[in-house]
Amino acid sequence: GGEAAALARLKHYLWDGDHLGTYFETRNGMLGADYSSKLAPWLAHGCISPRLIAAECGRYERERVKNKSTYWLVFELIWRDFFKLYCAKHGTSVFKAGGPIGSAQRWRKDPTLLRRWKEGTTGVPLVDANMRELAATGFMSNRGRQNVASYLALDLQLDWRDGADHFESLLLDYDVCSNWGNWAAAAGMTGGRVNRFNLVKQSKDYDADGAYVRHWLPELANVPTDKVHEPWKMSKDEMERSGCRVGNYGDASCDYPTPPKSHFVYGEKGGGGGGGRGGGRGRGGGGRSVAATPAQAAIMNRGKGGGGRSGGRGGGRKRVQMDYMMD
């Protein structure tokens, strides 16, 4: 910990390892030390300033390379600023069930389901692997955080504040504004675009060979790759051969649980990682990509290098742009 360790990490990430130049391509990773900067814990504790990181990124652009990756790390730091301003504006409403938009949505309270989510025994490998990583290390990738939050709030429809509270108790990089702001956004409580992720699709896109889920879920070690993200689809024979019997949660003769009965889990109605749900303001369907705030609009426009109104109807180019931001 401390400033010395923060500076050493910055030096490693930018200069010794030269990872900044490929950040855009690696930032959605989940396994390993260098797919992202991992500077968040030091930022959260005030051991390093975002200005120093931004200044070093500028120097890297001058001395090594200037590309989309070097732009993107600073862009992510701006999200951090954004959530600080967002919370300053909305005050304690970010801690309330209806969030800053004052949604009347009712959230489920189901202690068993919540426990399964926390301990990583939901039966959805991507969720379980991420939750076990969090419990073991105090860290979870941004990709993982978005998926487990979407699963808790939008699929299981459990009170999103229980998820935020759990993150608060475990994250090494816990930051009031980044945590509660991102959770409120994930639950659709900010009025902005909502990403309801299709967990199976996300798993195949970001963990194609199953290395990540196998790393954290040893019970899936020998499950064939085409079933590792959907182990409930294994035949009896395959379960036998892979030494992984999938069955009811709590059944001691089983190695891994089947997911709770929810059609969302299986992806039939999932949004493919992109389908918006119309967050809180009653917009349904294909997800509207609009800037939630003028600040967000400014950020979106920065990426386009132009002025004009950002946002627009989902499904087209504008939507892709929001995907870059939130995915």
The answer to the question of residue 84 lying near ligand FAD (CB under 6 A) is no
Residue 170, amino acid: L
| Contacts (CB under 6 A) with ligand FAD, residues 185-204 | 186
Rounded Cα distance between 100 and 59, Å, is: 38
Residues, the chain: 327
Q: Candidates 117, 167, 212, 216: give the one binding ligand FAD (CB under 6 A).
A: 167
CB 221 within 8 A of CB 214: yes
The answer to the question of residue 146 lying near ligand FAD (CB under 6 A) is yes
Give the interface segment with ligand FAD, choosing from 58-66, 70-78, 227-235, 255-263 (CB under 6 A). 70-78
DSSP 124-193: -HHHHHHHHHHHHHS---HHHHHHHHHIIIIIS-B-HHHHHHHHHHH-TT--HHHHHHHHHHHTT-SSS-
The answer to the question of residue 113 lying near ligand FAD (CB under 6 A) is no
Give the interface segment with ligand FAD, choosing from 38-46, 54-62, 98-106, 272-280 (CB under 6 A). 38-46
CB atoms within 10 A of CB 194: 25
Q: Candidates 6, 20, 43, 299: give the one binding ligand FAD (CB under 6 A).
A: 43
CB 109 within 8 A of CB 115: no
The answer to the question of residue 150 lying near ligand FAD (CB under 6 A) is no
Question: One of 72, 117, 133, 142 is an active-site residue; which one?
Answer: 142
The answer to the question of residue 66 lying near ligand FAD (CB under 6 A) is no
The answer to the question of residue 145 lying near ligand FAD (CB under 6 A) is yes
Q: Candidates 155, 159, 162, 175: give the one binding ligand FAD (CB under 6 A).
A: 175
DSSP 97-134: TTTTTT-----B--HHHHHHHHHT-SS-HHHHHHHHHH
Which residues contribute to the site for ligand FAD (CB under 6 A)? 27, 36-40, 43-44, 73, 76-77, 79-80, 83, 141-142, 145-146, 149, 167, 171, 173-175, 178-179, 182-183, 186
Which residues form the catalytic set?
76, 79, 107, 142, 160, 183
